[in-house]
Chain A
Amino acid sequence: MRKYLEVTLGVLTAIGGFVDIGDLVANAEVGARFRWNLAWVVVVGVVGIVLFAEMSGRVATLTERGTFDLVRERLGPRFALGNLLASFFVTFLTLVAEVAGIALALELATSVNHLLLLPTCGVLVWIVIWKVKFDSMERVFGLLGLALVVFAVAAWRLGPDWSAVLHQATHPGVPDGEGTPTYWYYAIALFGAAMTPYEVFFFSSGAVEEGWDRTDLMVNRANVLVGFPLGGALSLAIMTCAAVVFAPRGITVDHLSQVALPVAATLGRLGLVVVLIGFFAATFGAALETGLSSGYTVAQYFGWPWGKRYRPVDAARFHAVILVAILLAVAVGLTTVDPIKVTEYSIVFSAVALPLTYFPILVVANDPQYMGDRVNSRLTNALASVYLVVIVVAATAAIPLMIATKAGM
């Protein structure tokens, strides 16, 4: 049993990337508007994050250096500071969205207005970060998040014509009524969500928190190979449910409650209960991931002690950063800002952070002083270089496309 639990770090990391509050809605929205015409982007995103998360985890496993430590070390203080500001802002905006997302998930279950629940949600996230051991936290929320597998069950029960689905997914095009810029805007949004930088910050730091060493390189590999494809599969399942239920009826998706509808319609009350548990676990898990990542990035840039393996008094500045981030996130959330819009805009800032994060990882993963004989294989380097080009192109195109399409209107 213990063996199977060792992959929960990868699962929790992937949940924050693929099915956090913004992506839950975005996946359903894409399914409703584009059916399976954008499914290929999820696959491309999964391969990309598997590549770079494996590298960042391998470096952390062999050297105990978290990803932002490498960013600072390879880019120097000025460029790394630029990346820190952009990454911190993305992570913070996502934290705002996730804390509000937990409240939205609880609102669906209790009918209590989410703004009333929001401060309590913030406090709960902070208590878990303050008190709960890293591996217990990762196991509870990683496993609970698996409740979202109910979307796959619902998709199977809905029974679309699978050969037609496969045909559309492998022969994608822009559907009637949608513009080409809008299509590409959503493609970049899905790709950016899959490769969002806080996933590698969290995953590499988690490897250090877990105390992985040389003997755990297989565990690292198992985590990325189980976690991220699973996250991608959940994302595709949500897309499929929306494509079957909403697309033929011309319904667009912009609220969390709509995302749950196809499951409730096919699996009834029990299905709905399981979905709500999944929403709660996924948003809470993503809030933990982004809350901790805000501390990891700042502490690793400045070289401060960091991590939940220390008592809070022994990593004071790290915990202070997280505390302030959560307080601010609750304050911003209370301004009634729409959490789904917030995550959409955060993509713009990840555009700056993505290349500046993944490039140093690739460089260090090839440095024998760090890696010994565990440097990247040629195949990994070739693939990673292609992805860096794709990342740079996507990053450059993100902002113009966002303006041109009014954020996918």
Chain B
Amino acid sequence: MDRPKPPTGREVDACLELLDRQLVDSGGDQAGKVDDLELTELEDGSFVVTAILSGPGALGPRLGGRLGMAVAALFERLHPDTDADPARIPFGSVKDLGSHITLSRSRDHLDVNRMEHWVRDRVIARIPGAGDAPE
């Protein structure tokens, strides 16, 4: 993998200003949490954030302990791929950092919404009136 160039953007406290923040997609809808971050080492030995990791595959290891392992194991078991990695959102898709993290893509194109789609298609969409806006 090519080592990225040293960053030109602003510096943020990743723990305070990125981790556990709400992700909001290009349409203004909620699209998961920043459950973990992917860091890549630069030539000079420092690190930059290259991706946001989201969903149970990333949350489990951060929870730690037996519960965290159970969450991660459940994620791998339920994931269609045999060797499942946590859902990854390249940092290039991040449009803005604030009280939430705004993405430049729609949540329909994100890997993190697999579970949402499953619940929607298998459960919620089958109940009458699921596609109607409340009146």
Partner-B contacts on A (CB < 8 A): 63-65, 69, 72-73, 76-78, 80-81, 130-134, 136, 299, 301-306, 308, 310-314, 316-317, 319-320, 323, 369-370
Does B99 lie within 8 Å of A304, measured CB to CB? no
Provide the residues of chain A in CB contact with B117, threshold 8 Å.
316
Q: A65-B100, A78-B64, A370-B99 are in contact. Are A303 and B134 (CB under 8 A)?
A: no
User: What chain B residues lie within 8 Å of A81 (beta carbons)?
Assistant: 63, 67
Consensus secondary structure, chain A interface: helix
The verdict on A369 contacting B32 (CB below 8 Å), with A313-B125, A316-B116 known, is no
Tell me the B1-39 residues at the A interface (CB within 8 Å): 17, 19-23, 29-33, 35
Q: Given contacts A63-B99, A304-B116, A316-B125, could you give 18 more A-B pairs where the C-beta distance is less than 8 Å?
A: A65-B22, A72-B33, A76-B20, A77-B59, A78-B63, A81-B63, A130-B127, A303-B22, A303-B32, A303-B54, A304-B30, A312-B130, A313-B120, A313-B131, A316-B120, A319-B124, A320-B123, A320-B124
User: How distant is A9 from chain B, measured CB to nearest CB, in Å?
Assistant: 16
A66 nearest CB neighbor, chain B only: B22
- Which residues of B come within 8 Å of A, CB atoms? 17, 19-23, 29-33, 35, 54, 59, 62-64, 67, 98-100, 107, 115-117, 119-120, 123-125, 127, 129-135
Number of A-B contacts (CB under 8 A): 96
What's the least CB distance linking A251 to chain B, in Å? Answer: 45
A81: nearest residue on chain B (CB-CB)?
A: B63
Task: Kindly list the 5 A-B residue pairs having the minimum CB-CB distance in the complex, ordered from nearest.
Answer: A303-B33, A316-B120, A63-B99, A316-B124, A303-B32
- Min CB distance, A80 to chain B, in Å? 8
What is the bound-complex CA distance between A70 and B33, given in angstroms? 12
Residues of chain A within 8 A (CB-CB) of B135 are: 131-133, 136
Q: Whole-angstrom distance from the CB of A366 to the nearest CB of chain B?
A: 14
Evaluate contact between A311 and B100: CB separation under 8 angstroms.
no
Least CB distance, A311 to chain B, in whole angstroms: 5
Chain B's closest residue to A65 (CB) is: B99
**A305, B25: Cα distance in complex, Å:** 11
CB of A7, distance to nearest CB on chain B (Å): 21
A317-B23 contact in complex given A131-B135, A303-B33, A311-B130, C-beta closer than 8 Å: no
- Contact for B62 among A73, A77, A304, CB less than 8 A: A77
Distance to closest chain B CB from A345 (angstroms): 25
Residues of B near A312 (CB, < 8 A) are 124, 127, 129-131
B30: min CB distance to chain A, Å: 4
* Residue numbers in B under 8 Å from A370 (CB-CB): 99
CB-defined contacts of B129 to chain A, threshold 8 Å: 130-131, 312
Q: Is the CB of B99 within 8 A of A303?
A: no
